[in-house]
Amino acid sequence: GSSGGGDFTGSGGTTLTFGGGPHTITGQYNIAGQSKFTGGSSVTYSAASTIVNIGSSDNVNGGTVISNSGESFATPSLTFATGTLTGSDAVSVQGDGVGATTDFAWSGGTMIGSGTVTVTSGASAAISGAVTLSRSLLNQGSVAWTDGQVSGSGSFTNQSGGTFTSLLISSRFFFPSFANQAGATFTHSPPATVNSEFTGAFSNAGTVDCTTASTLLMSNGGSHPGSFTGTGSGTLGFGG
């Protein structure tokens, strides 16, 4: 473990890896390269720290990141496989400008805490494994849900201009609440035998488009001033 008021700085080619711990950051953090949180590490960005740059890409694979600096910070790219992201800071994934890549690849792990995570306009995200969402996730870009159950008591807000596409390869549940705001689009496009069930409250003020012969079930109520469209022979189910 480590602590102290010293600074962490690094150029664009730098990789700073935290393993074990705990580590407490109380000085300036300015890493232009990659920050990696692995091997059961625990890293706390305290209220005394100043986050100038969290890295051009960040990787959480077995570590716990506790971000309570009192600041908002952004990363172009985030890979989250296992571990925990928690704390009160607002985090945004802004995209790396490479259209063929996924900016926020979420295949496992837990996001909790009072802070928000935002996928900004132009950035992309993919949920491809079993994950836990117990904080607020805001989408202004594009999110694809390809596999894995989404557990947790948090919330997902598809904001104006955001797109959320269900491309599941197996039937799955989505437990957090889901809000599809005005100007946002939710597209349900799994194969015919694959179904999606949203067990938290689901509200639609934007557009929900069902394009395949699959089932979309909203089983816990919600308000729906937006539109529902369908081009296939799928089923839209309301419960709660």
Mean pLDDT by 10 residues, the chain (240 residues): 77 91 94 93 95 94 96 95 97 88 96 98 97 98 98 98 97 98 97 94 96 92 92 81
Instruction: Select from 161, 156, 99, 160 the least CA-distant residue to 124.
Output: 99
Q: Which pLDDT belongs to residue 12?
A: 83
Tokens of 237: 């189910």
Question: For residue 222, which amino acid is it?
Answer: G
Cβ(118)–Cβ(94) below 8 Å: no
Alpha-carbon distances, residue 199 vs 14, 32, 216, 227 (angstroms): 43, 40, 11, 20
Burial class (CB in 10 A: 0-12, 13-18, 19+), 201: middle
pTM for the structure as a whole: 0.93
Cβ(149)–Cβ(176) below 8 Å: no
Cβ(82)–Cβ(62) below 8 Å: yes
Q: Which pLDDT belongs to residue 139?
A: 98
Question: How would you label 14-39 residue by residue, b for 16+ Cβ within 10 Å and e otherwise?
Answer: eeeebeebebbbbeebbbebbbbbbe
How many beta carbons lie within 10 A of that of residue 88, not counting itself? 15
- Distance of alpha carbon 28 from the chain centroid: 26
Cβ(107)–Cβ(128) below 8 Å: yes
Q: What angle do CA 77, 79, 82 make, to 5 degrees?
A: 155
Q: Which pLDDT belongs to residue 21?
A: 81
- Which residues neighbour 17 within 8 Å (Cβ) at sequence distance 6 or greater? 36, 38
Q: Which pLDDT belongs to residue 132?
A: 98
Place of tokens 């925990």: 84
Cα–Cα distance for residue pair 8/137, rounded to 1 Å: 28
Q: Is 164 in a helix, a strand, or coil?
A: strand
Burial class (CB in 10 A: 0-12, 13-18, 19+), 223: exposed
Q: Which pLDDT belongs to residue 13?
A: 86
